[in-house]
Amino acid sequence: AFIAVAESLGRRYPSEPEARYDEGLAREMAGDYRGAMVAFGATVQLDSLSLVAGGVRCTACDAYEHLVHAEIAADSMGAALRDAAYWHRVAPGTPASWDMWADALERNGRLADAVEARGTAARLRGEDGLSVRWRAYYLLRAGGIAGAGTLLTPAERAGTAAATTAVISDACSASE
């Protein structure tokens, strides 16, 4: 039912990127990834200037993030790589674009490149670089269980077991 409502908004306001974005969200939540990809692509087309304008709200940026996730969910890895690469080229100062680039690279088995992209995103957010959590996550993804344990053991001893659990949980769900 919520897809029908979102579609009706898109028909009623065809030049409003938010209407197509809402349709994309509804389709993504319903598991209609192909339909979501179309709606998010339309959002990007309608709001493409916000990618470079640097405004308060960038609906195209939000749409790109969901577009890449929908492409990954639909097993369209080539499309995910293409769209994430384009987004981080046109908006290189946006941490989210680098995070999506890292996600697409990781899902395509390019873990070293994903680590580099994730580190760039962290630096753009003002962080020192890749956190222990992310380093351990990528080690686990690459099969480096011992190396991940070496990184996580001090965190666990320091009383951050929740972070350790989150890393292992993320690694397990990402490898499924």
Q: Check: CB of residue 167 under 8 Å from CB of residue 137.
A: yes
| pLDDT for the residue 159 | 62
Q: What is the pLDDT of residues 97-155, one digit of tens each?
A: 999 999 999 989 898 899 899 999 999 989 887 777 787 777 777 777 777 777 777 66
Average pLDDT, the chain: 84
pLDDT at 38 over 80: yes
CA distance 17 to 48: 10
Q: Which class for 19: exposed (0-12), middle (13-18), buried (19 or more C-beta within 10 A)?
A: buried
User: What is the pTM assigned to this prediction?
Assistant: 0.76
Q: What is the pLDDT of residues 91-113, one digit of tens each?
A: 888 899 999 999 999 989 898 89
| pLDDT for the residue 72 | 93
Q: Check: CB of residue 3 under 8 Å from CB of residue 21.
A: no
Helix 161-174 with 132-141: angle, nearest 10 deg: 30
